[in-house]
């Protein structure tokens, strides 16, 4: 397969099968796989919880959960605690979605549809948090803060923030995927494993954290 | 002729990486100074540096995406 065909295939996402005339993409199928894995993990890790004489598995799970909660609380502020479950879920999903390229699947976040919907969800949540905290009039007035001169930029922020969230995640994961594909085609022996430590693991985890961090910062700024 | 212009356009688009490279280099220099001045704060400094680099990298990635779009869509 020539390099051009390889790159063309890396950029598109095929329809795997159709259900009632709606084509199901590869990214949807991989997302279902991630959902099944995470649900199974949650089910296995939370069986037989006890109050005293806890097992090592329960101690590890409690440690992880408290770590994640304190992380999101640092990012979103005290009033943002009610949005912590959304941020933690997003972090777990993006963590698995970006890394799953190592296991042979195509990362679902390499397609623009997935990242655009995730960015849209985050921005709608931020505006909902602002409206809930400040009521509709307060939210509309907040566009004029701190000065009236900033008004066009605040309105533009409604568009550029989700756009940059979406494009950052999409570009990083697509770039990593394309480079890994080319590497696997050119030198299939040892180099892909070494480079995937950076491209798949480090880049994927960092971009997941950056996405969640930025959403948390926007929430904190909206709640103020 | 058309493909030549497209190739030149894609090459110019990727020049965005210049800004990201220079800025991340300067930031890393400052971070090293800070760690040298106060080694016990190195954990916080490192995580702030990594976060800042991921955000600064985004503009380079935008250039990369535009180059990809130019090559594969136009």
Please list the alpha-helical segments (H only) found in A50-147.
56-76, 84-99, 112-141
pLDDT band at A1 (very low <50, low <70, confident <90, very high): low
> Half-sphere exposure of residue A136, counting CA atoms within 13 Å on the CB side?
0
A99 closest CA partner among A191, A30, A21, A185: A30
Percent of chain A with pLDDT over 70: 100
**What's the pTM?**
0.89
Give pLDDT, residue A193. 86
Beta-bridge partner residues of A24: A17
Please check whether residue B39 is in contact with residue B14, taking contact to mean a CB–CB distance below 8 angstroms.
no
Do B72 and B18 touch, CB atoms closer than 8 A?
no
Instruction: Mark yes or no for CB contact A168/B61 under 8 Å.
Output: yes
Specify whether the CB–CB gap between A83 and A129 falls below 8 A.
Answer: yes
Q: Is the pLDDT of residue B33 over 80?
A: yes
Q: Do B54 and A171 touch (CB under 8 A)?
A: no
- What average pLDDT does chain A have? 87
Q: Rounded to 5 degrees, what are φ and ψ at A18?
A: -115, 145
Residue A111 φ/ψ region, left for φ over 0, alpha for ψ in the -120 to 50 degree band, beta for the rest = beta
User: Predicted confidence band at A169 (pLDDT cuts at 50, 70, 90)?
Assistant: very high
Model confidence at B74: pLDDT above 80: no
Half-sphere exposure of A68 (CA within 13 A, CB side): 19
Its domain, for residue A11, covers: 3-223
Tokens for A123, please give them: 């921005």
Give yes or no for residue A15 having a pLDDT over 80.
Answer: no
**In the structure, what pLDDT confidence band is assigned to residue B25 with cuts at 50, 70 and 90?**
very high
Q: How many residues does chain A have?
A: 224
Work out the minimum CA distance from A203 to partner chain B, whole angstroms.
9
Q: Which of A109, A166, A172 to mutate to test the interface with B (most CBs of B within 10 A)?
A: A172
Of the segments A15-19, A50-54, A72-76, B14-18, which one has the largest average pLDDT value? B14-18
For residue A202, how far is the Cα from the chain centroid? 14
Contact assessment for residue A126 and residue A222, using Cβ atoms and an 8 Å cutoff: yes
pLDDT at A182 (0 to 100):
85
Check whether A18 has a pLDDT greater than 80: no
Is the pLDDT assigned to residue B18 strictly greater than 90?
Answer: yes
Number of independent structural domains in chain B: 1
Please report residues of B whose CB lies closer than 8 A to that of A168.
Answer: 58, 61
Q: In 3-state terms, what secondary structure has residue A128? A: helix
Asked if B58 lies within 8 A of A168 by C-beta distance, the reply is: yes
Q: What is the pLDDT of residue A23?
A: 83
Mean pLDDT of chain B: 90
Q: How confident is the model at residue B28 (pLDDT cuts 50, 70, 90)?
A: very high
Digit-coded pLDDT (tens) for A77-122: 888 888 999 999 999 999 999 999 888 888 999 888 899 999 999 9
Q: What is the average per-residue pLDDT within A47-52?
A: 80
Chain B: give the shortest CA distance to residue A170, in Å.
9
Average of pLDDT values for A148-161? 88
Look at chain A and report how many structural domains it folds into. 1
CA distance A102 to chain B (A): 21
Identify whether the C-beta of residue B53 lies closer than 8 Å to the C-beta of residue B24: yes
Chain A residues inside the 8 Å CB shell of B62 = 167, 171
Is A164 an interface residue toward B (CB < 8 Å)? yes
Q: What is the mean pLDDT of residues A178-199?
A: 85
| Structural domain boundaries enclosing B11 | 2-73
pLDDT number for residue A126: 92
CATH of residue B29's domain is 1.20.20.10
Quote the pLDDT of residue A216.
Answer: 92
The DSSP element (H or E) to which A15 belongs, if any, is: strand A15-19
Residues 40-69 of chain B with CB under 8 A from chain A are 50-51, 54-55, 57-58, 61-62, 64-65, 68
Residue A195, classified by CB atoms within 10 Å of its CB into exposed (0-12), middle (13-18) or buried (19+), is: middle
pLDDT over threshold 80, residue A14: no
Q: Looking at this predicted complex, what is its ipTM?
A: 0.81
B63 → chain A, closest CA residue: A171
Q: Which residues of A84-118 are buried (b: 16+ CB within 10 A; e: fewer)?
A: bebbbebbbbbbbbbbbbbeeebbbbbbbebbbeb
């Amino acid at each position: 397969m020539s390099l051009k065909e390889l790159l063309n295939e890396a950029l598109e996402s095929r329809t795997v099968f159709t259900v009632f005339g709606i084509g199901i993409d590869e990214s949807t199928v991989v997302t279902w796989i991630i959902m099944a894995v995470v649900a199974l993990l949650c089910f296995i890790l939370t069986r037989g919880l006890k109050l005293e004489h806890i097992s090592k598995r329960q101690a590890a799970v409690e440690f992880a959960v408290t770590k994640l909660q304190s992380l999101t609380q640092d990012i979103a502020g005290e009033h943002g605690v009610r949005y912590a479950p959304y941020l933690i879920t997003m972090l777990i999903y993006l963590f698995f979605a970006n890394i799953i390229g190592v296991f042979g699947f195509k990362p679902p976040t390499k397609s623009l549809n997935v990242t655009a919907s995730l960015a849209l969800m985050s921005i709608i949540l931020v505006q909902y948090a602002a409206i809930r905290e400040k009521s509709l009039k307060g939210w509309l007035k907040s566009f004029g803060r701190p000065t009236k001169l900033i008004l066009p930029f605040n309105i533009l922020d409604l568009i550029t923030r989700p756009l940059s969230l979406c494009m950052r995640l999409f570009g990083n994961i697509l770039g990593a995927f394309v480079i890994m594909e080319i590497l696997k085609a050119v030198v299939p022996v040892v180099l892909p494993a070494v480079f995937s430590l950076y491209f798949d693991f480090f880049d994927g985890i960092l971009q997941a954290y950056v996405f969640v961090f930025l959403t948390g910062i926007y929430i904190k700024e909206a709640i103020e | 002729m058309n493909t030549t212009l497209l190739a030149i356009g894609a090459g110019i688009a990727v020049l965005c990486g210049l800004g990201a490279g220079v800025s991340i280099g300067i930031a890393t220099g400052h971070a090293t100074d800070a760690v040298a001045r106060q080694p016990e704060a190195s954990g916080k400094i490192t995580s702030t540096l990594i976060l800042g680099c991921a955000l600064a990298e985004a503009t380079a990635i935008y250039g990369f995406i535009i180059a990809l779009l130019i090559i594969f869509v136009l």
